[in-house]
Amino acid sequence: MTGTERDDPLYARLVAYEGRSAATAGTGKDPVNPAMIRHWCEAMGDEHPAYRGPDAVAPPTMLQAWTMGGLSGHTDRSGAYEELSALLDGAGYTSVVATDCEQEYLRPLRPGDEITFDAVIESVSPRKTTRLGTGHFVTTRMDVRAAGELAGTHRFRILKYAPAARPAGPAPGSRDERPKARRPRPVVNRDNAGFWEGVAAHRLLVQRCTACATLRFPWLPGCAECGSRAWDTVEASGAGTVFSYVVMHHPSFPAFDPPYAVGLVELAEGVRMVSNVVGVPYDKVRIGMPVRLEFLRVDEELELPVFRAGGED
Ligand code: ZN
């Protein structure tokens, strides 16, 4: 914390909310039950056998679902969260965006488990300036229990902020006088870092489950077929075909010049990826068109795998 933040009287009032309850002894409206599990699995397209039958468990990612109040809501919320929110509103941080959530699972939930939960305001950050504007991150932690035993935690973070003033734009029609915006950066995390390392080495790497040999793309921590988290990679040959495509006209994004074609390319190995189809006008892209991988140097720090039309050897 810097001296300025320590002396910030608002921040001193905000941190006083750390550790205060956001919901005490909430009770799940329904016990863990097969109907909700089935609806969730159908919505997610998750056919894993662990979620069916007499020994079914609930998908771990349903953790928060068991605590939700539905349309009628919960009546047992504490006022601390609303007070904190009002304090931020009053200081001009009137906008809100959910930034991320993290879950930890300690024990499986099974049909019949009665759910209780407590939520606490875990932390309020010092004032931060982001591209959206300046404000404070507020992290809430919910402990979810079954029969009194901690089953998992759900951390939820928002940014309450004052929107940044929009830079004065050029007059309508003078778009080309603006410096060209850079393409958005990929989000690289521990689950997909290997993919981007491959791209840097001009290799398109596809994950392969070492338990059942199923290929998958995009990169994920586990196999959707068998649930195994063990994997290695295979390098794509670079051959593919356009499986589907759309032509983007609107909305325009500063880094792109519409219209342009976005292709869903099926690699020779069988997985599909979204990319650009290059070397052909946007209105000449066709389903079934053969394409070949190449690496496009976008700017000094970004390279992307793209597909050139007419790429059959
Ligand atoms: Zn597998």
Q: Do residues 79 and 168 touch, judged by C-beta distance below 8 A?
A: no
Contact of 291 with 308, CB cutoff 8 Å: yes
State in Å: Cα 50 to ligand 1 middle.
14
State in Å: Cα 215 to ligand 1 middle: 8
Overall average pLDDT of the 196-218 stretch: 97
231 C-alpha to ligand 1 centroid (Å): 8
CA distance 225 to 46: 9
Residue 311 has pLDDT above 60, yes or no: no
Alpha-carbon distances of 78 from 20, 24, 242, rounded to whole Å:
9, 7, 54
Eight-state DSSP code of residue 35: H
Q: Give the total residue count for the chain.
A: 313
Give residue-wise pLDDT tens across range 132-154: 889 999 999 999 999 889 999 99
Distance 106 CA to ligand 1 centre (A): 24
- Please tell me the distance between residue 175's alpha carbon and the centre of ligand 1 in angstroms: 49
CA 255 to chain centre: 22
Distance 224 CA to ligand 1 centre (A): 7
Dihedral angle sign, alpha carbons of residues 227, 274, 188, 269: positive
* pLDDT digits 0-9 by tens, 63-75: 999 999 888 776 6
Structure tokens, 77: 């919320």
CA dihedral 44, 49, 54, 57 (to 10 degrees): -60
Q: Which residues surround ligand 1, an ion (CB under 5 A)?
A: 209, 211-212, 214, 223, 225-226, 228
Give distance in angstroms: CA of 111 to centre of ligand 1: 26
- For the stretch 67-104, pLDDT in tens is 998 887 766 556 888 899 999 999 999 999 999 999 99
Could you give the CA distance from residue 96 to residue 86 in angstroms, rounded to a whole number?
A: 12
| Domains of the chain by start residue, with CATH | 3-163 (3.10.129.10), 193-309 (2.40.50)
- CB 99, CB 137: distance < 8 Å: yes
Residue 167 in this model has a pLDDT that exceeds 70? no
- Ligand 1 centroid to Cα of residue 171, in Å, is 55
> Measuring CA to CA, which residue among 299, 303, 236, 291 is closest to residue 261?
291
Q: What is the mean pLDDT of residues 204-230?
A: 96
Per-residue pLDDT tens over the stretch 249-259: 887 788 888 88
Single pTM value for the model: 0.54
In the reported structure, the alpha carbon of residue 117 is separated from the centroid of ligand 1 by a whole-number distance in angstroms of 34
Kindly give the distance from the C-alpha atom of residue 280 to the centroid of ligand 1, in angstroms, as a whole number: 37
How far is Cα of residue 282 from the mean position of the Cα atoms in its chain?
Answer: 29
